[in-house]
Amino acid sequence: MPFKISILDSVRDKLLELKRADLRRYKKVRKALDQLANDPKYPSLKSKVISPYPGIDEKVWQSYVENNTPAAYRILWFYGPSANEITILVIKEHD
């Protein structure tokens, strides 16, 4: 069963900014979000648990948008708050 994707307002703003600045990269992010909704363990996402995230009690996951790309984008997310829901915390360039 697909997951519902919930996006924080700050992430929504980042997506709108990215759409205006870099449409190609925006489309990659949207594709990754669709894959995440359908199967968080989809191989190209390379989803993995990362260290604790400030202010979040749940396990925080990182998924790839891009790989082998300078400043590749990553999605940070967690399961919840309801069943069959994924909340997107951050979409950012990899450090």
Domain boundaries, the chain: 4-93
pTM over 0.85: yes
pLDDT attached to residue 15: 95
Give me the pLDDT at residue 37, please: 97
Give the pLDDT of the chain (95 residues) as one tens digit per residue: 699 999 999 999 999 999 999 999 999 999 999 999 999 999 999 999 997 888 888 899 999 999 887 789 999 999 999 999 999 999 998 87
pLDDT of 56 reads 86
CATH of domain 4-93: 3.30.2310.20
Reduced to 3 states (helix: H, G, I; strand: E, B; else coil), residue 7 is strand
